[in-house]
Amino acid sequence: MPNGVHLNTGLGTMADFNLVTAVENKELSHNVRMRFTSTQSTSNDYLSAYNHSPQFSTNSGYTFVNGNSYDNKFAAINSQFIAPYDCILKSVDGYISPAGLSSCKGTQNITISIWGKGVTVGGTTSTSMTLLFSQTFTFTGGSSNQLAFQIDGTTDSKVNDSSYLIKDKESVIVSVKRGVKEEACGNFTASFNMIFKSNNSQATSDDFKLNTISVANSRYDNTVSNPDKFYIPLQK
């Protein structure tokens, strides 16, 4: 610095920068609790109850078929998740157990499915449902209440497949059903986690402030940086 020229920003001066942080493939997690009882006796798909979501006691009135259109209201009253941006179902992990099968003579085939569904905003037109995951569990009559089967997303090739896109603001609906013409016997409890991965990288922008100090008599100036760990750059 030339003689006679001094930089003096003054005590307490803030240097303000804007930092853009890239977050590639942001992920969100959602847990589903499910109770499916012998009262739900048809082979239709059952949905989460609007007044008690862990109870899957709402008869949809249908056996869902991939690609077919169904009631617009399902997204509002039965969905488990609303996509905040374009994403895919990355993984599904959990467990299902029976209760009260000691008196059941035949097998119980229980199918858990996860669907993507659009919404007709401000209208009543039915929208199509896209199957994202499905797994069937076979319980033999007399199975112990201690029995647990794994709900495993790797059993379905559609999971973590980018071609099964859930669009921004679309709903994700979980359903459960019995096998066709089965005796309705026993109760089933499940808990599983769904992880959704953004289809595109996300970016956030935040202010990044640097404190400056000045020593007036010696005309010494310095910039002190002590950024929060939140701003550590992503490792490539």
Q: What is residue 219's predicted lDDT score, i.e. its pLDDT?
A: 55
Q: What is residue 157's predicted lDDT score, i.e. its pLDDT?
A: 98
DSSP summary character for residue 217 = T
Q: Is 39 exposed, middle or buried (0-12, 13-18, 19+ CB in 10 A)?
A: exposed
Domains of the chain: 1-24+201-236 (no CATH), 25-199 (2.60.120)
d(CA 97, CA 116): 25
**pTM for the model:** 0.76
pLDDT along the chain (236 residues), means of 10: 49 58 78 97 96 95 97 96 96 97 90 97 96 97 93 98 96 97 93 94 60 56 52 46
Cβ neighbours of residue 52 under 8 Å, at least 6 residues apart?
none
d(CA 104, CA 98): 11
